[in-house]
Amino acid sequence: METPNIPPAEGSAMYDAIVVGARCAGSPTAMLLARRGYRVLLVDKATFPSDAISTHYLHYPAIARLDRWNLLDRVLKTGAPVIDRITWGMGDVYITGTAPEWDGKRFAVAPRRKVLDKILLDAAVEAGAELHEGFTVEEILRDGDRAVGIRGRERDGTEVVAHAPIVIGADGIHSLVASTFQPAEQSGTPPLTAVWYTYWQGTDVDHLIFTRLDGRELFLVPTNDDCVNVMVGWREHEFHEFRKDIEGNYHATLDLFPELAARVRKGRQVEPFYGTKQTRQWMRHPYGPGWVLVGDAGYHKDPIAGIGISDAFRQVEVLVEAVDDGLSGRRDMAEALAGYHAWRDESFSEVFEYYHRAATLDMLPPEMLQVIDSLRYDETERDRFMGIVGGFTSFKEFFSPENCQRILARAAEAGGLRETGGRTADSAWGDWTPGQSR
């Protein structure tokens, strides 16, 4: 309900910025703004440390930003192992490589969210942000169509009213900021996958591995405490079928990949199963008068992407520059946020389209699998392909007819060109097949 003409009432507090949500998008936003001298209020309904549904994976762009923010050493000291390789599989095609470096970084890490989020939160507080955790935001205050603040309650029930010229929605897939202003959805897909995962301790899995058979996906990544996050993906419409026997269906999915299953079962399961079917994808118009969205609130991908945190970190830096420009008066705030919007769409539109297709869990067509299989004979292109995993190699450019021909020619010269499995009928990849419209 609209609350018109709200002045900073007696008993309310004024800030330069209010950040709603204190996880991977919100805490670094608050931290970077506070480091620039702004008075920032950071609120979250959760208390920390606490876990969240996540793949945990921080690709190279995230590592580069943690280093730039002087937080990388803190993350590495938690014992989350350095991940320097990626194995990509589909059907009988498996390749292992390392994506091209990003800002001098060429490794990943996958800390538990109860570890990472607390590090980010502490850094925001150290920078000067005012934190209220266990805080329920009940309303985004408005003056006409402009956000002017928040009203909410502390854990003890105390009501708090706060005002600011900018309210930043970093409040994830159930964003109150987004639901308040109902921004247009530029792109969107229905939920396509359902994922379940748990943690295994004592396996010999030491790098990121993900592989697929039609309609089933397996994702393994090492994390803290000698554990591996082992996630299985089914199609979303099968979620309720999976829930009838979570343990049985989880292990049946593992058994589709017998070599990997054997490696996982060298260890032992140490936590319950966690699952979600909240995998709808969207790219929303991210700003309006007095408000802006960052992270999943504005741009959400299926969890099989494994790059949500990395993409959030990238957005945070650009958004903070824009908000700083607006608050300082160097630029009109609307103009500055429009620049953030344009950068986001240019940076992530193709990635969004790619993961829309990937989330169908369809197999790639045989001709594309043959190209990927042929990367065994081309280390440079193999590593470049791994950049697709991180969202910073263009899928369309990589699979251009010219590049595919070069890769296949090298494999033929090495005597390694072979036929591969795959499927063309009903594949989501049809118009991204080499030689098709792009």
DSSP 323-377: HHHHHHTSS-HHHHHHHHHHHHHHHHHHHHHHHHHHTTTPPPPHHHHHHHHGGGG
pLDDT of 419 reads 77
The Cα–Cα gap between 161 and 148 comes to 11
pLDDT of 330 reads 98
pLDDT of 438 reads 38
pLDDT of 431 reads 65
DSSP three-state, residue 178:
helix
- Cβ count near 224 (within 10 Å): 19
Whether 152 contacts 143, CB under 8 Å: no
pLDDT of 3 reads 31
pTM score, whole prediction: 0.94
Strand-strand pairing, 227-235 and 216-222: antiparallel
pLDDT of 437 reads 38
pLDDT of 5 reads 36
pLDDT of 7 reads 46
pLDDT of 430 reads 63
pLDDT of 193 reads 97
pLDDT of 11 reads 58
Per-position pLDDT tens, the chain of length 438: 233 334 444 557 999 999 999 999 999 999 999 999 999 999 999 999 999 999 999 999 999 999 999 999 999 999 999 999 999 999 999 999 999 999 999 999 999 999 999 999 999 999 999 999 999 999 999 999 999 999 999 999 999 999 999 999 999 999 999 999 999 999 999 999 999 999 999 999 999 999 999 899 999 999 999 999 999 999 999 999 999 999 999 999 999 999 999 999 999 999 999 999 999 999 999 999 999 999 999 999 999 999 999 999 999 999 999 999 999 999 999 999 999 999 999 999 999 999 999 999 999 999 999 999 999 999 999 999 999 988 899 999 999 999 999 999 999 999 888 877 655 444 677 666 654 533
Q: Which two tokens stand for residue 283?
A: 């790219």
What amino acid is encoded at 54 in this protein? S
DSSP three-state, residue 111:
coil
Q: Domains in the chain and their CATH numbers?
A: 13-56+112-188+280-351 (3.50.50.60), 193-276 (3.30.9.10), 366-432 (no CATH)
Task: Please say whether the dihedral angle defined by the alpha carbons of residues 126, 130, 134 and 140, taken in this order, is positive or negative.
Answer: negative
DSSP three-state, residue 85:
coil
